[in-house]
A and B are shown apart, each in its own frame.
Chain A
Amino acid sequence: MAFDCGESSVTGYLQQVALQAHEAMRAATKVAVSPADPARILGYFTLVAIKIIDTELPADLAKRFKIRNLASGAPAILLAQLGVDRTEAGTGLGTFLLRHAMRHALSGALEVGGVALIVDTLNADVAAWNTKHVPDFRPLTADGLRLILQMTTLAAALKPAP
């Protein structure tokens, strides 16, 4: 049975774009399977390295980032896609994928830098699902569909609670 998450753009990305983008190293896609049936894709996520650019930078953040401005960009990780097959809806696979997407984003940020995790969501329901599981996400855009979480918060979440 072919992967189908019910959203044509998310299903289509996995079927038509993900492999090429992964092989060209433009984006990294991981898929989730069941150990009992590893040939069948149950869900996936795609991470992309992006740059956040601005013409200025507040003094306190310039000091923290140790740069004068963001003209050449601050690195960040974008969770561009996350899809769960229709048959797995409500099983907890979505949170499994979100957890691993965040762990991989943090791991990448620790290796090559990344000040924030940005999440692109398709609609208000998907945005609400993300903030329900991770209330630390904040809206970055006025429509609330692009979310942001600073990477230091993710790093702190992996440490034992004080």
Chain B
Amino acid sequence: MESPKAEQARVDFRVPASVKARFVEAAAFENGGDLSAFLVAAGLERADRVLVQRDTLHLDEATRERFYAAMRAPATPSELLRRLMNEDDSRFRLVE
């Protein structure tokens, strides 16, 4: 939960009137009519689902064989990879 003093940001977007009416109707049912709270809750729920999907890779029929083949491949790096990993470039610097 964000603290009340957390930095605030504004989200602006336009939707068709019919879509807004649907939001308002749903907000009245679930959030006591607070449209912003309803949209924030809905958006966060969706964002969490998407990020969990990103952070968890479920192997399926299409990816299973490729994943296991990659895991079984000999751990012998190509010359290009070896060179790339061991070179450096002083023209650039990495920072956080």
Interface positions of A (Cβ within 8 A of B)? 22, 26, 29-35, 38, 42-43, 48-54, 58, 60-61, 64, 70, 73, 76, 78, 80, 91-93, 95-96, 98-100, 102-103, 115-116, 118, 133-136, 138-142, 148-150, 152-158, 161
Contacts and interface: CB of A to CB of B under 8 A. Distances in A.
Contact of A115 (B59, B66, B71, B80): B71
A50 B95 CA distance: 23
Contact of A134 (B59, B73, B81, B94): B81
12 contacts: A30-B95, A31-B96, A48-B55, A49-B55, A53-B59, A99-B84, A133-B80, A138-B66, A141-B63, A153-B81, A154-B81, A157-B86
B93 A138 contact: no
B12 to A, nearest CB: 14
Contacts of B84: 95, 98-99, 102, 133-134, 157
Contacts, number: 137
Interface of B: 51, 54-59, 62-64, 66-73, 75-78, 80-82, 84-87, 89-96
Given A50-B57, A61-B71, A96-B92, A140 B81 contact: no
A64 B71 CA distance: 10
Given A34-B92, A38-B93, A140 B70 contact: yes
B55 A53 contact: no
Contact of B92 (A33, A49, A118, A158): A33
A31 B62 contact: no
Contact of A150 (B54, B70, B80, B90): B70
